[in-house]
Amino acid sequence: MEGFKAIGLSYKNAPIEIREKVAFSELEAGDFLMKLKEVFAIEEALLVSTCNRTELYFTSPVEVTSKIISLIAAFKSLTASQLEASFISYDGVEASKHLFNVALGLESQVLGDIQISNQVKRAYQQSADLNLAGPHLHRLMHTIFYANKRVVQETRLQDGTASVASVAVDLIGGFISNIERARIALIGLGEIGQNVLENLNTDETSITLVNRTKSKAVKLAEGRDIAVCDFDDLDQVISDNDVIISAVSSKNPILTSASFSSKSIHKLLIDLSVPRSMDQDLENVPGISLYNVDQLTERTLKARKIREKSIPDAEKIVEEELGNFMSWKSEMEVSPTIQRLKSALDQIRKEELARHKKLSTEEVELLEVVTKSMIQKVIKLPVLQLKAACKRGEAETLVGVLNDLFNLESTDVEKK
């Protein structure tokens, strides 16, 4: 399909203050996609929105990028001027390649991030549910999923744990393995806090969110089995939970040894704040396991180095599968020419047979078989040459020659 494009912003070119303004919930994404379809008559669209990026992929035969940015701004009660400087656009093969790289984690803040692949799959499912995924998007997405499978099997791009948030979740998993319905408190819901929340298993744990701006916690908990507490009730939160994660900005520690009673304690404390929000003296409190962001970062370094070495191998897979997709796309673009050529030759065949009215029924049936077989053999070489030209990027020239030779564009033919 002509006119495949992508527009969006990410952590690479937009601060969190901008990204959070254009982040879409699943419900908002659905509403926006339907609005996009209504306003611009767009038939294929995919909206990927995470804490690190908001990107829209779509097909349009005309240039509507600036108008779509204006629509996003209006949808989010912003002005276009607030967004235009941060939005980057991609066109054609570059848009397809960018989606490959995003879905495989090559564009992620955490290299090889598995989570982004799942987020892209959910976005694709939503597009399909809204009838906004046509042949082009279906084929592209399934090619990307196959490429991701190859990356997992053939490279080490997704080996190990490569983010502080995921290391924290791994620690939590080990700590609560013997605790039935473990209670976890997450204090601070900035970018790091949200990353931790996205990785936590909310089905097997009890989660409580605490944030200075309570409305943000309420919004993140909306529609999920997650509790919200006031920041002023921090002492009670500390007392009630087995695991306490702090990702809050604070000049002074919000948790000290005085925050815990002298009775038996068995708690995991994870401090993801810089400056630290948990007093280092907590390491000396019996029953408390304390980890800070530097300790967690050390655990990610080895995995990151392994993943970085795998980038060339992953990029090679992207190029191979993108090439396969573009070959398919080129063949789809010449398919109408092939159908017109077949119809034009078949029309000639029928007209010639119609001239011979004295033939018997048996003779007509025999000639039908013979002439159809001849047409199939005649058309075989042009079809093979067209497909080969597609792979070389030269199909347009050959299509033009066939159109001129058989006057295909001016012939009214039926598509089979």
The CATH number linked to 17 is 3.30.460.30
Q: pLDDT tens-digit profile of 94-153?
A: 999 999 999 999 998 888 888 788 899 999 999 999 999 999 999 999 999 999 999 999
51 flagged as catalytic? yes
Q: pLDDT tens-digit profile of 14-66?
A: 887 888 889 898 899 999 999 999 999 899 999 999 878 999 999 998 899 99
pTM over 0.85: no
Residue 178 shares a structural domain with residue 300: yes
Helices (H), 130-256: 135-154, 164-175, 191-199, 214-221, 234-240
Inside any domain, residue 311: no
Inside any domain, residue 414: no
Residue 278 shares a structural domain with residue 369: no
The pLDDT assigned to 308 comes to 92
Adjacent-strand bridge partners of 209: 186, 228
Residue 190 shares a structural domain with residue 154: no
Single out the catalytic residue among 14, 45, 51, 176.
51
Are 47 and 25 within 8 A, CB to CB? no
What one-character DSSP code corresponds to residue 231? G
Name the phi and psi angles at 118, rounded to 5: -65, -35
Inside any domain, residue 314: no
Task: Return mean pLDDT, the chain.
Answer: 86
Domain residues for the domain of 76 are: 4-159
Distances (CA, A) of 199 to 156, 305, 396, 400: 21, 22, 48, 54
Residue 174 shares a structural domain with residue 155: no
Inside any domain, residue 65: yes
Which residues lie below 8 Å from residue 51, measured CB to CB, with a gap of 6+? 16, 19, 20, 23, 191, 194, 195, 198
Residue 39 shares a structural domain with residue 116: yes
Residue 11 shares a structural domain with residue 154: yes
Pairing, β 205-210 against β 226-229: parallel
Inside any domain, residue 18: yes
Residue 130 shares a structural domain with residue 170: no
Inside any domain, residue 319: no
The number of distinct structural domains making up the chain is 3
- pLDDT of 235 strictly over 70: yes
Inside any domain, residue 286: yes
Adjacent-strand bridge partners of 243: 184, 268
CA angle 164, 166, 169 (to 5 degrees): 110
Residue 154 shares a structural domain with residue 16: yes
Distances (CA, A) of 117 to 32, 184, 323, 397: 22, 26, 20, 38
